[in-house]
């Protein structure tokens, strides 16, 4: 035995005698992970979170979370001698007087943007492939929780430096809190320790940003990953892949090397972007004061849709019995996002209620094979896109020489018209893709080669699909619509018949499909 | 006959295709060299990182095409770190792809659901153990425990009470009183009507009384915009017209929508625009909202001049400034 092997053996023995870890590890080193680019989106989210932890801890060593007023005398000349909060001054110090500080700030901010992009892309992958179906509903809900917390965490981080831009964001957050009926003013005063802006808010959100939320993140991410581990990963349909197996590469060494390597790649790419592309140059905005504002102010992209909703809201307020209700804030700021996130969290349960499907699924859907789900996804994305664009309406206006008025009206109409349109178009598109798949299986692939038949007619040669390809296209199952009898055996209308009717209607819409070809269809064609 | 049936049934995993390095030792050695070169590039990156940290002065700026003038130390630190990490990653992935076994493996899934016996067993045990605690039968314990737990979970809320004072009338008040002079911000100089030309805008704050300090909390409610237009251009009720002075009209600068500073004044149209969500206020009509999500005009401050000719507030604001809240009537 070589010496190094002996050392490993001794250590392993020592640990195992005290933990019994060998049995568990033996099993899990063989664990199989399916490989697909879309499975890396969640990984990117995880790695950018790790990057945020590392760079965030670095920032805490110099960042001073205080709204106490100081006179700036650091090395950034243009702000020399200006009064500002200690938070802002220390962010300037990190940017100009701490070696590598600006780099760390920029990596932190770029990683935050990447984190949110990756979460959203990952969520879309899970949604469009139906990976949220039983048994993975818990992970879907955990994911929605992580997305929500990510938005909050990002907003709080963005608010910490107390520059003119982020202070304006805080001002808006305060107005949203203040608008809540009955308790709004109280909540705002509790959150800010008195009237806006006070001196309490930044120290408080600092604790939330660096301690409370990261702790919750860690717990939720751990639960999320443990479930993935335990339930095993889903896989795309294909030859040899069934609901009862997973096909892929073993944890050790291939998956370890790829995943570990990928972490370094994500880090490297983020560091490169942070090295060459400036982000949030807070020294250009100046310190926060409530009486000033920087024109063209924009939140980070993951808040942009909210901003867009607020911008397109009509100016509605009600005044009743000496009280004010600000619909112009409540609807876009709380009600619509609340409905959106609740609907998103409940989606797996709604779908299975409509399909009546309560079985486990480990083979992913190709999006076209779930036309209604795909259409719902496209509809939601269109909604978010319209609101996101409205969030940048001032930029759009200057770029395309339109008036804000035109853009706002276009978005007010667009937000109602475009999403349903996207729904209809996407559903049609999915169904025609299904038809194309059907033709491919039945008639094979067009080769572009023409041959002349004995009686002079030209026909194109079709090449039959390989067995693997045909199986991939046709292995999904098509769930029939729910059959909900409105009358019982004796011909008497059942109670709740109306509800059943509605459910049956929706079920029919959800399960609408082009019948996939069967071996019988193929046989028949070949006999012609 | 059975060929077509097979076509749509599972043909099983496709045969494994071997890579060059799997059977050609020379190709494998070449792959090994490539992987080590990638790892060495990472080493170069780290060395560059250290060099940048120690030797590049932090105030040195260099010109880089596209990026413009750039801080050299920050750039080289970033590039060094990027190379140091990226090449470890590329090396590891290349290693995995060329040299590690790439045969797909198949693992069986276990059913998540427990065996039926175990489920029954669990239920029975749970019920029996639960019953042995007496909880289901002893309703007095159940109720009092519920009460105790419910109450104890309220205590954190009690502790949070001191997070802030109660709002009281605070949201409805500003520092403006009758007779308060308008002073420039910045500068704190009192101003006369003649200091403002027609078409001009000025931001003002209430003059501080001796010993008073200006805090951001004050500014957040006190900031006022003065705008001077030709008096005949006003479209105001006689009462509101009397709140102006020689074409000078004063509004709260805090947006009635969500409290941003309404900072953009367009001379041609006489519109005030809030850059946050583009609420637009028409100055000649007492800042009536003509576009955007704001529901109310900017509160107007009643102004006049004192005996020395300086602009003063004749009265405090007649309504709360800034965004709405429940208690606002
Ligand atoms: C999901 C996790 C996180 C997100 C999305 C996030 C996001 C952000 C953002 C966008 C900023 C503003 C950066 C700027 O441009 O100045 C920020 C600042 C900051 N973050 Fe985080 N962060 C996360 C986690 C953390 C963690 C775990 C820590 C520390 C343990 C941390 C510490 C800080 C500090 C100290 C600042 C203020 C300093 C500065 O802005 O330069 N963050 N964060
Ligand atoms: S805060 Fe002024 S428009 Fe929203």
Residues B71 and A102: beta-carbon distance below 8 Å: yes
The band of A428, judged by pLDDT with boundaries at 50, 70 and 90, is: very high
Range of the domain at A285: 29-301
| DSSP classification of residue B124 | H
Two structure tokens written together for A66: 């205080």
Q: Residue B87 has what pLDDT?
A: 98
Q: Is residue A147 part of a domain?
A: yes
Which 3 state secondary structure label does DSSP give B4?
helix
* Cα within 13 Å of Cα(A21), Cβ side: 10
Give 3-state DSSP helix, strand, coil % of chain B, rounded to 5.
Answer: 40, 20, 40
Tokens describing residue A448: 């572009």
Kindly compute the dihedral angle of the four CA atoms of residues A60, A64, A67, A71, in this order, to the nearest 10 degrees.
Answer: -150
Tokens 């001796």, residue?
Answer: B210
A60 CA closest ligand 1 atom index: 35
Measured CA to CA, the distance from residue A89 to residue A162 in angstroms comes to: 9
Expressed in angstroms and rounded, the spacing between residue A154 Cα and the centre of ligand 1 is: 7
Residues 6+ apart with CB under 8 A from A314: A328, A412, B293
pLDDT confidence of residue A193:
96
Euclidean distance between CA atoms B190 and B310, whole angstroms = 6
C-alpha distances in angstroms, B73 versus A56, A58, A79, A90, B41?
21, 18, 22, 19, 20
The mean pLDDT value of chain B amounts to 93
Question: Which pLDDT score, from 0 to 100, does residue B7 have?
Answer: 59
Q: What is the pLDDT of chain A when averaged over all its residues?
A: 93
* CA gap A469, B144 in Å, rounded: 66
Give percent above pLDDT 70 in chain A: 99
Examine the domain organization and report whether B133 and B213 are in the same domain. no
| Confidence at B1, pLDDT banded by 50, 70, 90 | very low
B192/B268 same-domain check: yes
Please, what is the angle between helix A467-474 and helix A404-443, to 10°?
Answer: 130
Q: Which two tokens stand for residue A316?
A: 């509605």
User: Residue B6 has what pLDDT?
Assistant: 53
DSSP H or E segment with residue A449? strand A445-452
Give CA–CA dist A38/A125, Å, rounded.
7
Q: What is the pLDDT of residue A525?
A: 78
Helices (H), A129-163: 137-159
Break chain A down into helix, strand, coil percent, rounded to 5.
65, 10, 25
As a whole number, mean pLDDT of residues A274-303 equals 90
**Spatial distance between the Cα atoms of A220 and A321, rounded to a whole number of angstroms:** 45
**Residue B151 and residue B247 in one domain:** no
Domain boundary among A270, A301, A332: A301
* Residue B304 in contact with partner chain A when CB distance is under 8 A: no
Length of chain B: 329
Question: Does residue A467 sit within a domain?
Answer: yes
Q: Both tokens of residue B251?
A: 């509004």
The two structure tokens encoding residue A92: 């300037």
DSSP A411-431: HHHHHHHHHHHHHHHHHHHHH
Pair B151, B206 in one domain? no
Ligand nearest to the CA of A60: 1
Judge whether B53 lies within some domain.
yes
> For residues A255-282, b (16+ Cβ closer than 10 Å) or e, as one string?
bbbbbbbbbbbbbbbbbbbbbbeeebeb
Do residue A271 and residue B78 have CB atoms under 8 angstroms apart? Answer: yes
DSSP single-letter state for residue A464: P
Q: pLDDT tier at B4 (50, 70, 90 boundaries)?
A: very low
Which tokens hold the place of B180? Answer: 């308060």
Listed in sequence order, the residues at least 6 apart from A185 whose beta carbon sits closer than 8 Å to its beta carbon are: A178, B167, B171, B325, B326, B327
Enter the tokens of residue A120: 């959203």
Ligand nearest to the CA of A221: 1
Nearest residue on chain A to B260, alpha-carbon basis:
A168
ipTM reported for the complex, 2 dp: 0.93
Quote the CA–CA distance of B103 and A236 in Å, as a whole number. 18
Give yes or no: residues B147 and B84 share one domain. Answer: yes
Contact B326 A246 (CB under 8 A): no
In a domain, B325, yes or no: no
Please tell me the distance from the alpha carbon of residue B290 to that of residue B293, in angstroms, as a whole number: 10
Q: How far apart are CA B250 and CA B68, in angstroms?
A: 44
Is B274 within a domain? Answer: yes
Residue A231 lies in a domain: yes
Among A192-196, A377-381, B185-189, B287-291, the range scoring the smallest mean pLDDT is B185-189
Whether A445 and A296 map to the same domain: the answer is: no
- pLDDT of A1 > 70? The answer is no
Is the pLDDT reported for residue A403 higher than 70? yes
Q: Collapsing DSSP states into helix, strand and coil, what is residue A13? A: helix
Q: Phi and psi for A296 in degrees, rounded to 5? A: 65, 35
C-alpha distances in angstroms, B40 versus A323, B31, B45, B50, B86? 69, 14, 9, 16, 12
- The total of other beta-carbon atoms located within 10 Å of residue B254's CB is 30
The model's pLDDT over B194-228, given as tens digits with 9 standing for 90+, comes to: 999 999 999 999 999 888 889 999 999 999 999 99
Closest CA to B85 of A358, A275, A128, A448: A275
Q: Tokens standing for A372?
A: 């209604």
* Interchain contact A105–B (C-beta under 8 A): no
User: Which of A301, A324, A349 represents a domain boundary (last residue)?
Assistant: A301
pLDDT single digits (tens) A224-240: 999 999 999 999 999 99
Q: Identify whether residues B159 and B253 lie together within a single domain.
A: no
**Distance between start and end Cα atoms, chain B:** 84
Backbone angles phi, psi at A232, to 5 degrees: 65, 150
Question: At residue A151, does pLDDT exceed 80?
Answer: yes
* pLDDT band at residue B287 using 50, 70 and 90 as cut-offs: very high
Same domain, B149 and B78: yes
Q: What is the pLDDT of residue A296?
A: 66
Q: Which of A56, A94, A102, A220 to mutate to test the pocket of ligand 1 (most atoms within 8 A of CB)?
A: A56
Tell me, yes or no, if B200 comes closer than 8 A to chain A by beta carbon: no
B164 chain-A contacts, CB cut-off 8 A: 189-194, 198, 200
Q: Quote the ligand 1 centre to A300 CA distance (angstroms).
A: 13
**A453 belongs to a structural domain:** yes
Same domain, B72 and B139: yes
Q: Which residues of chain A make contact with B288, given a CB cutoff of 8 A?
A: none
Residue B323 included in any domain? no
Chain A: give the shortest CA distance to residue B15, in Å. Answer: 11
B8: in domain: no
A146, A217 contact by CB (below 8 A): yes
Task: Give A189's contacts in chain B (Cβ within 8 Å).
Answer: 164-167, 170
Distance CA A87, CA B135 (A): 54
Q: Check: CB of residue A267 under 8 Å from CB of residue B85.
A: yes
Q: Residues A63-84: pLDDT tens digits?
A: 999 999 999 999 999 999 999 9
Q: Is A352's Cβ below 8 Å from some Cβ in B?
A: no
Determine the structural domain holding residue B77 and report its residue range: 19-104+115-163
The reply to whether B12 falls in a domain is no
* Total domains present in chain A: 2
Q: B151 and B55, same structural domain?
A: yes
Residue of A nearest to B157 (CA): A190
Answer whether B96 sits within 8 Å of A103, measured CB to CB.
no
CA pair distance B143, B149, nearest whole angstrom: 10
Q: Which pLDDT band holds residue A17 (cuts at 50, 70, 90)?
A: very high
Q: What is the mean pLDDT of residues B302-309?
A: 95
Is residue B176 situated within a structural domain? no
At residue B3 the predicted structure's pLDDT band, cuts being 50, 70 and 90, is very low
C-alpha torsion sign, points A6, A11, A14, A18: negative
Residue B2 predicted with pLDDT over 60: no
pLDDT for A240 equals 92
pLDDT interval class at A221 (50, 70, 90): very high
Q: What residues of chain A, 62 to 91, have a C-beta less than 8 Å from chain B?
A: 75
Bridge partners (DSSP) of residue B301 are B250
Pairing of strands B248-252, B264-266: unpaired
Window 217-236 of A: residues touching B by CB (8 A cutoff) are: 231-232
Which residue would you say has higher pLDDT here, A299 or A184?
A184
Contact indicator for B237, B273 with CB cutoff of 8 Å: no
d(CA B165, CA B217): 14
- At B12, give phi and psi (nearest 5°): 85, 170
Q: Give pLDDT, residue A490.
A: 73
Task: Answer with the one of A273, A301, A329 that is the final residue of a domain.
Answer: A301
Best mutation target among A40, A194, A271, A518 (most B Cβ atoms within 10 Å) is: A271
Per DSSP, A514 falls in state P
Q: Beginning with the edge strand found earlier in the chain, give each strand of the sheet holding B201-206 in spatial order.
A: B182-184, B201-206, B224-228, B248-252, B300-301
Cβ distance A386 to A309 under 8 Å? no
Residue B38 lies in a domain: yes
CB B57 within 8 A of CB B73: yes
Q: Are B221 and B147 contained in the same domain? A: no
Contact B311, B193 (CB under 8 A): yes
Closest CA to A208 of B163, B323, B220: B163
Q: Please check whether residues A283 and A135 belong to one and the same domain.
A: yes
Q: What percentage of chain B has pLDDT greater than the value 90?
A: 81
Asked if pLDDT for residue B18 goes beyond 90, the answer is no
Does the residue A21 lie in any domain?
Answer: no
CATH code where residue A198 lies: 1.20.810.10
Tokens standing for residue A104 = 């760390």
pLDDT mean over A484-499: 75
Could you tell me which residues come within 8 angstroms of residue B327 by beta carbon, excluding any fewer than 6 positions away? A185, A323, A324, B167, B171, B172
pLDDT of residue B5: 42
- CATH number at B281 reads 2.102.10.10
User: Distance (Å) from the C-alpha of residue B169 to the closest C-alpha of chain A?
Assistant: 10
Question: Minimal CA–CA distance to B284: which of B326, B317, B251, B324?
Answer: B251
Residues 13-52 of B with CB under 8 A from A: 13-14
Number of folded domains that form chain B = 2
Per-position DSSP letters for A288-306, written without gaps between them: --TT---TT----HHHHHH
- pLDDT bucket at B233, cuts 50 / 70 / 90: very high
Query: Can you list the positions of beta strands (E) in B88-190?
Result: 105-108, 182-184
Put simply, the answer to whether A268 touches B216 (Cβ < 8 Å) is no
Contact between A517 and B8 under an 8 Å Cβ cutoff? The reply is yes
Please check whether residue B164 is in contact with residue A191, taking contact to mean a CB–CB distance below 8 angstroms.
yes
Average pLDDT (A431-450) is 90
Q: Is residue A410 part of a domain?
A: no
> Whole-angstrom Cα distance, residue A1 to residue A6?
7
């Amino acid at each position: 035995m070589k010496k190094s092997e002996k050392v490993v053996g001794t250590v392993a023995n020592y640990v195992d005698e005290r933990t019994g870890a060998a049995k568990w590890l033996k099993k899990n080193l063989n664990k199989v992970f399916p490989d697909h680019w879309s499975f890396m989106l969640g990984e990117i989210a995880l790695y950018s979170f790790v990057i945020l932890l590392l760079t965030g801890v670095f920032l805490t060593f110099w960042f001073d979370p205080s709204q106490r007023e100081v006179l700036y005398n650091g090395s950034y000349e243009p702000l020399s001698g200006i009064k500002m909060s200690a938070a802002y001054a220390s962010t300037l110090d990190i940017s100009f007087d701490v070696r590598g500080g600006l780099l760390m700030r920029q990596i932190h901010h770029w990683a935050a943007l990447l984190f949110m992009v990756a979460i959203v892309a990952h969520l879309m992958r899970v949604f469009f492939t139906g990976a949220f179906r039983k048994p993975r509903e818990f992970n879907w809900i955990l994911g929605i929780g992580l997305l929500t917390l990510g938005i909050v965490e990002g907003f709080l981080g963005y608010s910490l430096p107390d520059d003119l831009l982020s202070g304006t964001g805080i001002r808006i957050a305060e107005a949203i809190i203040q608008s809540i009926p009955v308790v709004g003013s109280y909540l705002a005063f509790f959150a800010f320790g008195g009237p806006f802006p006070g001196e309490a808010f930044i120290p408080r959100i600092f604790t939330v940003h660096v301690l409370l939320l990261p702790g919750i993140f860690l717990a939720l991410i751990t639960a999320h990953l443990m479930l993935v581990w335990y339930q095993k990963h889903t896989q795309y349909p294909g030859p040899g892949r069934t609901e009862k197996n997973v096909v892929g590469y073993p944890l050790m060494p291939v998956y370890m090397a790829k995943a570990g390597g990928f972490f370094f790649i994500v880090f490297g790419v983020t560091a490169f972007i942070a090295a060459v592309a400036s982000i949030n140059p807070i020294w250009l905005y100046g310190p926060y004061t409530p009486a000033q504002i920087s024109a063209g102010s924009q939140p980070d992209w993951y808040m942009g849709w909210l901003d867009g909703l607020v911008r397109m809201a009509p100016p509605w307020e009600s005044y009743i019995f000496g009280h004010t209700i600000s619909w112009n804030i409540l609807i876009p700021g709380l009600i619509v996002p609340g409905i959106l996130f609740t609907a998103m969290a409940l989606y797996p349960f709604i779908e299975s209620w409509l399909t009546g499907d309560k079985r486990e699924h480990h083979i992913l859907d190709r999006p076209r094979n779930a036309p209604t789900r795909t259409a719902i996804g496209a509809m939601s994305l269109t909604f978010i896109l319209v609101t996101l664009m409205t969030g940048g309406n001032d930029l759009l206006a200057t770029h395309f020489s339109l008036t804000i008025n035109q853009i706002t009206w276009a978005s007010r109409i667009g937000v109602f018209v475009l999403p349903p349109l996207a729904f209809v178009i996407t559903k049609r598109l999915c169904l025609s893709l299904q038809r194309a798949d059907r033709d491919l299986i039945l008639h094979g692939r067009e080769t572009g080669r023409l041959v002349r038949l004995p009686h002079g007619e030209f026909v194109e040669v079709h090449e039959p699909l390989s067995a693997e390809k045909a199986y991939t296209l046709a292995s999904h199952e098509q769930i029939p619509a729910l059959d909900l009898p409105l009358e019982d055996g004796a011909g008497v209308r059942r109670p709740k018949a109306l509800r059943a009717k509605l459910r049956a209607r929706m079920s029919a819409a959800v399960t609408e499909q082009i019948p996939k070809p069967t071996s019988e269809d193929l046989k028949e064609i070949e006999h012609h | 006959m059975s060929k077509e049936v097979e076509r749509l049934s599972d043909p099983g995993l496709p045969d494994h295709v071997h890579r060059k390095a799997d059977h050609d030792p020379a190709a494998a050695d070449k792959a090994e060299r490539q992987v080590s070169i990638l790892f060495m590039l990472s080493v170069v990156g780290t060395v560059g990182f250290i060099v940048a940290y120690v030797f590049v002065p932090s105030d040195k700026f260099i010109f880089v095409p596209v990026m413009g003038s750039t801080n050299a130390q920050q750039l080289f630190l970033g590039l060094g770190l990027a190379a140091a990490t990226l090449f470890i990653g590329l090396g590891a992935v290349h290693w995995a792809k060329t040299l590690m076994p790439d045969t797909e493996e198949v693992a069986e899934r276990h059913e998540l659901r427990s065996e039926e016996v175990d489920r029954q067993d669990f239920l029975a045990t749970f019920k029996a153990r639960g019953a042995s605690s007496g909880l289901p039968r002893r309703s007095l314990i159940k109720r009092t425990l519920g009460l105790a737990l419910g109450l104890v979970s309220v205590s954190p809320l009690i502790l949070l009470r001191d997070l802030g004072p109660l709002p009281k009338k605070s949201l409805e008040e500003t520092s403006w009183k009758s007779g308060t002079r308008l002073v420039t911000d910045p500068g704190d100089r009192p101003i006369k009507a003649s200091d403002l030309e027609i078409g001009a805008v000025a931001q003002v704050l209430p003059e501080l009384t001796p010993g008073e300090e200006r805090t951001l909390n004050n500014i957040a409610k006190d900031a006022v915009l003065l705008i001077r237009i030709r008096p005949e251009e006003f479209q105001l009720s006689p009462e509101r017209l009397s709140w102006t002075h020689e074409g000078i009209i004063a509004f709260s600068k805090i947006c009635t929508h969500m409290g941003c500073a309404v900072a953009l004044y367009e001379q041609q149209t006489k519109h005030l625009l809030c850059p946050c969500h583009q609420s637009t206020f028409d100055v000649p009509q007492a800042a009536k909202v003509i576009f955007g999500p704001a529901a109310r005009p900017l509160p107007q401050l009643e102004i006049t001049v004192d005996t020395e000719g300086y602009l003063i507030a004749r009265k405090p604001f007649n309504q709360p400034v800034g965004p709405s809240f429940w208690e606002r009537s």
